[in-house]
């Protein structure tokens, strides 16, 4: 039932996904660590490319995002040297804790590096958080 919901949501935004290619549900902790590393080392275009490539690898091609070699190849396709990212890929299933002091969880959304929403939330809740951050950043609302 959850897979059908995910596929329907993806189709609704014009992003068909192929869940039949996914053989196993990988531990994505290293993929999250890779994204965190790329966010520090790279620019916005490289980070966005990595996110797109991770999405396509998993949802379109059924690649194993828990595999260290797969993640290194994806990073290299986004312009990163294997040596600059390999040490963040532990491969031991250790949980991804994210930023120090942040509550761990997936999914995790951070808006304007100030507001973090952890866990699955309805689209309306995420939109509300984004809207509040936008109001605060434009000075229309005072931070609480």
Give 68-77 pLDDT, tens digit per residue.
Answer: 999 999 999 9
Of 58, 53, 6, the C-alpha closest to 28 is 58
CATH 2.60.40.10 fits 1-92, yes or no: no
Mean pLDDT of 58-87: 94
54: pLDDT strictly greater than 90: yes
Q: What is the pTM of this model?
A: 0.67
Measure CA 139 to chain center: 29
Domain ranges in the chain with CATH number 3.40.30.10: 1-92
Convert the pLDDT of each residue in 22-46 to its tens digit. 888 888 899 999 999 999 999 999 9
CA dihedral 96, 100, 101, 104 (to 10 degrees): -10
Mean pLDDT of 40-62: 93
Q: Which helix (H) or strand (E) holds 110?
A: strand 108-111
Do the Cβ atoms of 70 and 13 come closer than 8 Å? no
């Amino acid at each position: 039932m959850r897979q059908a919901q995910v596929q329907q949501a993806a189709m609704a935004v014009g992003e068909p996904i192929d869940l039949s290619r996914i053989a196993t549900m990988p531990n994505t902790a290293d993929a999250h660590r890779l994204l965190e590393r790329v966010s520090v080392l790279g620019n916005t275009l490289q980070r966005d490319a990595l996110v797109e490539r991770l999405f396509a690898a998993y949802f379109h091609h059924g690649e194993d995002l828990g595999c260290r070699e797969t993640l290194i190849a994806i990073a290299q396709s986004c312009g990163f040297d294997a040596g600059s990212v390999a040490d963040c890929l532990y491969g031991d299933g250790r949980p991804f804790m994210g930023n120090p002091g942040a509550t761990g969880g997936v999914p995790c959304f951070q808006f304007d590096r100030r507001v973090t929403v952890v866990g699955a939330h309805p689209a309306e809740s995420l939109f509300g958080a984004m809207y509040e951050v936008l109001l605060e950043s434009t000075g229309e609302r005072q931070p609480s």
